[in-house]
Amino acid sequence: MSGPQIKARLASRELSQDPAEAVKARLSQCLSSDAQNIRPKLKGGSDGEHVRVLQRALNKIIDKIKLKTPELDIPKVPESEIVAGTYGSGTQLTVRKYKAFNAVQRQGQQLDDIIGRMTITQMDNDLINSPSPPGPSPDVVIEVAQIRISSTLDELDKDDLQFGSANNSQLSGKELTLIVDMSRKSTQQLQNIMLGELRTGDAKFGPMLANAFFLNAHPPRGNNAIVHQNGSDFSNMISRTALWRATSIAYKADLAANIALRAQLPGSVLPRDIVNRVAAPRPSWSPHGVSQLLAVGIDAITSLLSPGNSNFAGEQARMLSLVGSFQGGQVFLRDFKLDRTNRSFEGTLIFELIDHFGVDTSDITFDSKGHGTAGQVAFWVLQHERHNPPGNFPYRLRVLINESFGGRF
């Protein structure tokens, strides 16, 4: 026989104190007699409150063990079976995996999904002597290291990062005419057309982005990118827009709600516990991007859409000419602290927004939505046909924004 030494009586609060008298009696019978084991109804058992007590106890044990061994392959009992108190297939799988993990198996017999004397003894022992969570005390959690908690990476094979000559058979007659007409101009003329259009969007940052393109001799490969650090002029410009502020509010609200929920559970709450729980923000100044924020109920942006708010209309036009929509993003959390006594948490979020400074063929067709302008056609010809001497390569743009973060639970 392997497994724990069978004990004389149950001692954990979950199995010997909290249940109703009839349930405690049934659990004690399970401990004292092989004939009184608890098994699925289809195998001669019965459903009810005694099953529900064991299901909750198993899930509590699994939660605590996984704090120390996250890779542990023991699924929790499905909530639907707990609510019904049924010893269903989910409970059977959990029991079988739990028994295998603890080597609860009689010599010469196959592993089964029945809770008998050894299994309930093991559960009682685990409830009394639950493994303590790793790291700092759960009352105060401090994690100084920077950890990536959200990631939505961009697509490096997207059309707007392509730079080879186009296949004329893939172009419409109108697109081909636009390109042929623009190709007759010199590289300097094309650059001036593109500069003039971007300058109307923003006199400072339009030329900055364009000149980086003119001078870029490196095709977009791997992690190559032009980076605008936190606190730089371009980073500050992005972070001060009304739409970014609303985007940041939405992300922080979702993240805070996730942390507050996990703080109600036993054990520590570490940054690794919230990895990819909230999608990384990718702000878009297009009407579609604005409507996405409204869809998740961000009141901070509703006033921006009022007919009389010309400032927001100007911001949209400016940002659509410079960025449009960010293609990817990541968020890092550092200097995280959670204090259970004060029921609060805080930290610093580092937002990394990723964009592509390039155009694809669809951008050169006029559609009354900002596409098909002379500047974009000139941009396309420079990107696809003018790489001698080196330069005019599309590039990835990374913008870093640091913000403080905190909340209560």
Q: Where are the domains of the chain?
A: 13-128, 140-408
Q: Where are the alpha helices (DSSP H) in 202-241?
A: 205-215, 233-239
pLDDT at 101: 85
β-strand pairing of 140-143 with 328-339: antiparallel
On average, the pLDDT of the chain sits at 85
Nearest Cα neighbor of 58 from 85, 87, 95, 11 is 95
pTM for this predicted structure? 0.63
Q: Where are the alpha helices (DSSP H) in 216-241?
A: 233-239
Angle at 231 between CA 336 and CA 222, to 5 degrees: 80
- CA-CA distance, 160 to 384, in Å (whole number)? 10
Nearest Cα neighbor of 80 from 112, 113, 111, 47 is 47
| Whether 242 contacts 293, CB under 8 Å | no
pLDDT at 5: 87
- CA-CA distance, 74 to 322, in Å (whole number)? 50
β-strand pairing of 147-152 with 226-228: unpaired
Supply the DSSP symbol for 11.
-
- CA-CA distance, 184 to 187, in Å (whole number)? 9
The dihedral built from the CA positions of residue 47, 53, 59 and 61, taken in this order, carries a sign that is negative
95 Cβ contact partners less than 8 Å away, ≥ 6 residues apart: 58, 113, 114, 115, 119
Token pair recorded at residue 207 = 């030329």
Nearest Cα neighbor of 260 from 191, 171, 338, 195 is 338
pLDDT at 138: 56
Supply the DSSP symbol for 24.
H
Residue whose structure tokens are 């509010």: 249
Ramachandran region, residue 3 (left: φ > 0; alpha: ψ -120 to 50; beta: rest): left
| Whether 126 contacts 99, CB under 8 Å | no
Low-confidence spans in the chain with pLDDT less than 50: 131-137
Token pair recorded at residue 197 = 């259009």
Residue whose structure tokens are 């669809």: 362
Residues β-bridged to residue 141 = 338
pLDDT at 309: 56
Residues β-bridged to residue 140 = 339
pLDDT tens-digit map of 329-374: 999 999 999 988 888 999 999 999 999 999 887 777 655 555 668 8
